[in-house]
Amino acid sequence: MPKKPKLTKEQRLALDCEWNRLEDALESEMHELHPVRVAVGCILYQMKVFLKKWGLSKGRRGRWDALLRKHDLNRETVRQWICLYQTENKVPPEEWVFQPGKPTKSQQNGQNNTPDLSVLTSQCVTEIEVARENGKHTKDQSPEQRMAVECVFCLTLEEKRRFMEAVARLGTLEATQRIYRSLVSL
């Protein structure tokens, strides 16, 4: 891979200026996109309710999959738009056609997305080895008996970007410890 040329101060400034302009343009369009997503979610919600009422959402007589294929719509994206509509318009849970925040299947392999077990290390604690038997995690043999804990954050795109930058800056161990301490000290 060829080396990237070293940029002058002026070039870096121009690069940052162009990047900021592109980010501003994206944010401007994203603000306009949100109401459109809600409106499309409303129409799709009404279609799903209609199909469900008349027994036309699944099976050989089902029209939902045909609709998604006809309009080249991604199933997960459609689900997200409908959930956005349901949430923003305070649709009662008994009238939901999709559960907001419900875990979905991975598109790559049809399996639920699950985190890999990560082991924390520090200077004062030796690394904890977690054994696997037949692909399953076994009990931690360390005196602390640590275990992996899955954590899901619901963030905006900007919050996610800032969060990931902070984790990269602090390192995963320090970030995990700070999150833990801030929650436990409440």
Got the DSSP string for 55-94? T-SSSTT--HHHHHHHTT--HHHHHHHHHHHHHHTT--GG
3-class secondary structure per residue, 105-143: ECCCCCCECCCCCCCCCCCCCCCCCCCEECCEECCCCCC
Give the torsion through C-alpha atoms of 105, 111, 154, 41, to 10 deg: 0
pLDDT tops 80 at residue 45: yes
Contact criterion met (CB below 8 Å) for 63 and 48: no
pTM higher than 0.95:
no
Mean pLDDT, the chain, whole residue set: 78
pLDDT given at position 130: 38
Question: Pick the residue with more confidence: 126 or 145?
Answer: 145
d(CA 39, CA 81): 9
Residue 109: pLDDT band (50, 70, 90) is low
Residue 124: pLDDT band (50, 70, 90) is very low
d(CA 91, CA 66): 26
- Angle at CA of residue 157, ends 106 and 47, nearest 5°: 60
Q: What is the pLDDT of residues 48-96, one digit of tens each?
A: 999 989 888 887 778 999 999 999 999 999 999 999 999 999 999 999 9
